[in-house]
Structure 1
């Protein structure tokens, strides 16, 4: 009786292990709401999908239909994009997921690069980047003349917003500098000036960049 009991128990354990292995194998290949396979690094995959979704929603669907021929996409994707413009509500959300999958399959990197070359030419222009960084640094340093220069160059400048960002960036830089000075004194290591832009400095750069694109 005992031998039979242990035999049955062993068979049940093997069955349970087999079922668990099957479940694990089944879970390896999962699909998200956009129809893309979720692989081992789910967080990274989700970030990529969110990036594609934002690009499709904010950039591709805002283009006029005649602009799609200049992108490395096929006729099916062009038709799907045109179709997406007339949809709303849940139908739009489902179609957006479908568009994300198509863009992913047709090489998002190539599509994005082609889009930027035409619609955001300054993004990879070193001279424009230097100009924006120069304006940003002068604003943070408290240069009063730069405000007048920006007003002459751009029509829609939110001066109050610019000044607030510049003040915040200056405070953040001073705080970071004090931390580094204290650390240098404590450890005896040489003081190194902060090289990375602070949060407000990044926001200031982004705002100036948008002004260049407008």
Structure 2
């Protein structure tokens, strides 16, 4: 019997996960720091909708008070450090909804436009469908905006009320997140 008979053939060196390189760790940390910077650039009402713990929320709020560039850079590094323990994917998804260049924001915007058109062109079934999708909507206010937008269209006036309706739909949808 040779020494090679006792060798386990199931060992595969590719199965061993290597720890990430220092460069990869640094890239990950910079990405978290950049995401933290994007959070600080949101409006306060949008920041409130981002899922973050209290320490991170306080650090983001503190960023508004800082004016010196060096202090801002250090504070962003601190926010990046806090982001390591946060759910970065959920935060990234929430930030994407508010980023006007993102596909998620554009899709949401188009859905709201479709709702507006359905409500103006439609009847009570469209209103009922919207209320079912967004139960926190103020039904009376919604119906008034729809009535005024329909009247506006019939009289070929500029779509001021249609814009108000769109803004209201956006407010209601952002409360939903």
TM-score range, shorter chain: 0.3 to 0.5
What's the TM-score, normalizing by structure 2? 0.46
What's the TM-score, normalizing by structure 1? 0.39
Pick the structure with greater CA Rg: 1
**1 or 2 for the larger relative contact order (CA 8 Å, sep ≥6)?**
2
